Structure 1
């Protein structure tokens, strides 16, 4: 492991026992302690580059106070433009930020855009109340406009400041105001979330030592058989998954120990978003809690969901919620495939400027279109056993598609990514295009049959008609 990874691991490990201590603090003490600890982590790992995050927060605060009506759109533009500057600072003669500063900046961008949307919704609901002379409760809505101190405390809260997951400002406020934090579940769900982390970590270290990524960039790699080159991408994606499974499960455990994101199951919480319904407690039955709000990964469904679109929902779940609520609905396109492509483009930009991100993320809409075409052209025409066999093949190809796209995500450079994809003959792109063409041909045949039936509704053959006339 690299020194940066060891620091990251240390922050994760320390956050778990510290979280249990925070349950003993009163709301004001909890807020200032979480702020000071988060600032300490930020300054210790980012040094002078911590100023980038501060500028982002203060800029968002000015936008919210000066123009709340357009705060969501302006803040999205502000934070994403600052991300561009942040990644190009060396062009201006400034030192390159540390990897920790990059991680903090990414999460802060999500938080600021979400905060602007929450404040905008708060003011809009307030205007509705004034015009209608009635108050309608909003699920997960703010009860008051946050102060600058509150925004800074939210931005630098030690929980997930560098490791994630993303959570909304209202989730943070609910955490501060928990009436009985010590009565909420802690040790049991925390240990449940950590139980597979040693396995993920051991598998990551073992597989990574035998199949290093840098070997893909060598001339010697290209001399191996095609099947070896195909196999290598499956191992690379396996290493990639194990690394993030371990990291994200550890980050979730840090949230659980502190009690962040703990809501009754009846609130039907969503990862990233929090409660979706107003929960009313039945005094005759015990309250069962969950931590769905801060769940960022579901390893089982990531690996065993049949479809590409479904598997994506279980990977980096809080960020998926953010994209679904703040990017996808505001896409300039109407067609599903184009809206998905736009969302993937924004996701790639958020991750970084490396061409590999864009090559990978923009392959996802192609794969989604391919699987939709094959479901219509093939699966819909099969019986139960045939559909079961189709799903197994579909799952296998889904995993290979993610293997394929992962190579762009980890190789980063356009040349390295294209060289690898060329070495396996762009196999996933070829299969995806073939599936789409097959679906188009099948749809064309169905339309011809439909047109024929409409032109000849009685089903009389044209040859029989001619014989009768003669």
Structure 2
């Protein structure tokens, strides 16, 4: 592990340890100050002077959220925060900003622009309520058909201090998970943290993190990514070896990500952050989807979970059969942000999937590998969906299980092949590796798409022919029945 990774892990472990202390601070204002102070400390330790980039982006984003009218505030803040990434990464190319500072800036970008989207959505609900009252001339005390909460009102009176506390809260400041401002507020206003199984959940996640870390260290030692860049790898190794090398290197990458994300979740669970009663139906990143404020009255009588802050469902990613399912379980809190703020709000339904993936690639970075990997995913998903309809969808029993296993193997080859581009990063390295395996991934996928389109067209022709024969037979039966009826008469 590099020295940066060691510092990163130490900071995460320190944040986990601090959670037990922070959770027990009785005064909410003091707990908020302590949480922010810890967050700023972690940022400075990890980033040094480069932390000034994060503070500058927060200042710009905060000014935009507070000064721009809510009707346009979400769009302007989005442009400011994502535009700032250009400046940040240009300095990265020239100064070599630490990778963990990049992660801090990425999460900060989602938080600040996310709070602007929340504020605009709340403002629209308030406007709809006012318009409804005006048109219907409703009594002030009469219940509005537009559901308004105190949270909607409070978002319109946000202060710079509150945005600072939310953005630099030590929980999630390094690698997330992303959570809404509402989740942050609930942590300080609701009693759920005092009744959730914080220690038990943390210990369980720590066991998993230790397992992932051990796998990462072992596979990184046996199959280091740097070897895939060496002359020996290209000159002395066979085509099959080079092609199969994508499997262990991508597993190393997954194990590293699993370790970091699980430790980040431990920071949340130890502090009791993101704990909600099961009855509130919490969702990853979003928080409760049902009314939950009334549950605080008997908070000690509920069962709790930490679904809100679970960023990757590791077992589901590994065990699911298809690429499409795997994507749904990966980085789900960030996917929630993209779905709510980009996919659903994009004006063109035809292009919103592409726009969402492009936004994701841009958010990850400017290196070609990010675009090779993320923008290549929808093409494989389309291929997978096509063959699912052709050979898998209607199968059952042993035949279905065999097909499932084949889909699982192809899923991980696709993830690994595309993920290799993400890891190699630069166009030159990507092209050299893909050329050494004759671009077999793209070539085979193109061939499978062509074959799938041909088989699909043949299947449709056979179905149309069958339908015509059925209609013809039905017409013949009707004619025969009519003749028989005339004879009878």
The alignment partner of 2:47 has SS state of helix
Q: 1:273 Cα deviation (Å)?
A: 1.0
RMSD: 2.4
Equivalent in the alignment of 1:392: 405
Aligned residues: 457
1: CA distance between counterparts of 2:151 and 2:335? 20
Equivalent in the alignment of 2:426: 413
Equivalent in the alignment of 2:34: 33
| Matched-pair contact (CA < 8 Å) for 1:24–1:181 | no
| Matched-pair contact (CA < 8 Å) for 2:192–2:299 | no
2: CA distance between counterparts of 1:45 and 1:382? 52
Equivalent in the alignment of 2:481: none
Spell out the pairing of 1:153-168 with structure 2 (5 A cutoff).
Answer: 153-168=165-180
Equivalent in the alignment of 1:174: 186
Q: 1:326 Cα deviation (Å)?
A: 1.5
| Matched-pair contact (CA < 8 Å) for 1:140–1:275 | no
Deviations 1:28-84 (A, max 9, x none): 001111111211222233233223222222222232232211122222111111001
Unaligned stretches of 5+ residues in structure 2: 134-142, 475-489
Spell out the pairing of 1:64-463 with structure 2 (5 A cutoff).
Answer: 64-65=65-66, 66-89=68-91, 95-133=95-133, 134-135=143-144, 136-137=146-147, 142-145=152-155, 146-179=158-191, 181-222=193-234, 223-279=236-292, 281=295, 286-331=301-346, 333-335=348-350, 338-380=351-393, 382-452=395-465, 457-458=471-472
Q: 1:177 Cα deviation (Å)?
A: 1.1
Q: 1:317 Cα deviation (Å)?
A: 1.7
Deviations 1:162-192 (A, max 9, x none): 1211111111111111236433321111111
TM-score (norm 1): 0.91
| Matched-pair contact (CA < 8 Å) for 2:265–2:310 | yes
Q: 1:130 Cα deviation (Å)?
A: 2.3
Q: Structure 1 15/270 Cα, relative in aligned 2: closer, same or farther at 3 Å?
A: same
1: CA distance between counterparts of 2:324 and 2:353? 10
1: CA distance between counterparts of 2:439 and 2:342? 30
| Matched-pair contact (CA < 8 Å) for 1:332–1:339 | yes
| Matched-pair contact (CA < 8 Å) for 1:376–1:439 | no
Unaligned stretches of 5+ residues in structure 1: 461-470
Q: Structure 1 67/199 Cα, relative in aligned 2: closer, same or farther at 3 Å?
A: same
TM-score (norm 2): 0.87
| Matched-pair contact (CA < 8 Å) for 1:269–1:293 | yes
Q: Structure 1 173/12 Cα, relative in aligned 2: closer, same or farther at 3 Å?
A: same
Q: 1:128 Cα deviation (Å)?
A: 2.4
The alignment partner of 2:245 has SS state of helix
Q: 1:453 Cα deviation (Å)?
A: 5.7
| Matched-pair contact (CA < 8 Å) for 2:197–2:304 | yes
2: CA distance between counterparts of 1:181 and 1:352? 35
The alignment partner of 1:378 has SS state of helix
| Matched-pair contact (CA < 8 Å) for 2:357–2:375 | yes
Q: 1:459 Cα deviation (Å)?
A: 5.1
The alignment partner of 2:291 has SS state of coil
Larger Rg: 2
| Matched-pair contact (CA < 8 Å) for 1:140–1:170 | no
2: CA distance between counterparts of 1:101 and 1:76? 20
Q: Structure 1 380/199 Cα, relative in aligned 2: closer, same or farther at 3 Å?
A: closer
2: CA distance between counterparts of 1:161 and 1:283? 31
Equivalent in the alignment of 1:464: none
2: CA distance between counterparts of 1:448 and 1:7? 62
1: CA distance between counterparts of 2:193 and 2:373? 42
Deviations 1:200-245 (A, max 9, x none): 1111111111211111112211231222112211100111111111
1: CA distance between counterparts of 2:395 and 2:194? 54
